[in-house]
């Protein structure tokens, strides 16, 4: 089975009342499996390795919206800049500056999310709230005309403690609301709050997330662990 059709439909039904969007996370899965999901009408997919994404992108329909959700190295931005729909994992002003440069080269504005570190784990990438504020209120941001910060992405701690996860999502939602109401730069249009994966997307929805990134529930368990 290429993917779980029932689960996909179930997730889409669950998202509706929240007006949330699904990013079907297809990392490690074949172009054929992505094509099968695409054929149901779903067009939003997430990948977290540049090379893997680029290889799949050339094989698949051009109206797929690709979100980049993994750690992005500055020297790889150029490979995805021509087509990427949203880079969810921006974690430095240096990376943002490079995305802007590649946006200019491709004559487009590239939408981004700042990835915020909300988990109580050491392994996750991302900015602290203070570091995100520094980027949002830095003078440098005013010069970046080919990026738009659309909101934030965060990953909660991998734990069974629902209260812990909820607390982490709530903190990100509060930050999102603060920026949304106080930051009025042309490079910032705070709309998207990307939180929730297979194990915690229901909590994320309850706490205000409007973009969930779900892989294994739809495509089945991955062989490698990420």
Ligand X SMILES: *Cc1c(COP(=O)(O)O)cnc(C)c1O
Which stretches of the chain bind ligand X, using CB under 6 A?
25, 27, 48, 69-70, 155, 197-199, 213-217, 226
Min dist CB 46 to ligand X, Å, is 7
The residue (of 157 and 199) whose beta carbon lies closer to ligand X is: 199
End-to-end C-alpha distance for the chain, whole angstroms: 22
Q: Least Å distance between CB 196 and ligand X?
A: 8
Q: Least distance to ligand X from the beta carbon of 140, Å?
A: 26
Nearer to ligand X, 38 or 141 (CB): 38
CB of 57 to ligand X, least distance (A): 18
Contact 146, 188 (CB under 8 A): no
For residue 206, give the nearest of 195, 222, 220, 191 by alpha carbon.
195
Sequence-separated contacts (24+) of 91-94 with Cβ below 8 Å: 91/115, 91/125, 91/126, 91/127, 92/127, 92/135, 93/134, 93/135, 93/138, 93/140, 93/141
Q: Please state, in angstroms and rounded to a whole number, the distance separating the CA atoms of residues 70 and 72.
A: 6
3-class DSSP assignment, residue 92? coil
Look at the block and give the residue holding tokens 């990013």.
23
Least CB distance to ligand X at residue 194 (A): 8
Q: What CA–CA distance (Å, rounded) separates 92 from 13?
A: 35
| C-beta of 70 vs 103, nearer to ligand X | 70
**107 vs 225 by CB, closer to ligand X:** 225
Which residue's C-beta sits nearest to ligand X?
215
Between 81 and 156, CB nearer to ligand X: 156
């Amino acid at each position: 089975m290429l993917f779980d059709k029932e689960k996909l439909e179930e997730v889409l039904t669950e998202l509706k009342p929240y007006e949330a969007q699904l990013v079907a996370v297809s990392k490690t899965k074949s172009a054929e499996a992505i094509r099968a999901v695409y054929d149901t009408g779903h067009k939003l997919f997430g990948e977290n390795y540049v090379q893997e994404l680029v290889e799949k992108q050339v094989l698949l329909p051009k109206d797929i919206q690709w979100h980049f959700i993994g750690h992005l190295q500055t020297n790889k931005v150029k490979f995805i800049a021509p087509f990427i729909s949203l880079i969810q994992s921006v974690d430095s002003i240096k990376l943002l500056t490079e995305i802007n440069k590649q946006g200019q080269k491709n004559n487009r504005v590239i939408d981004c999310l700042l990835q915020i570190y909300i988990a109580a784990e050491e392994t996750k990438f991302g900015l602290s709230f203070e570091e995100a504020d520094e980027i949002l209120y830095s003078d440098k941001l005013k010069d970046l005309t080919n990026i738009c910060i659309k909101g934030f992405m965060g990953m909660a701690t991998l734990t069974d403690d629902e209260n812990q996860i909820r607390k982490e999502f709530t903190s990100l939602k509060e930050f999102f609301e603060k920026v949304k109401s106080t930051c009025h730069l042309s490079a910032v249009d705070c709309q998207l709050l990307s939180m929730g994966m297979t194990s915690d997307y229901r909590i994320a929805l309850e706490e205000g997330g409007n973009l969930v990134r779900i892989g294994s529930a739809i495509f089945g368990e991955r062989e490698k662990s990420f």
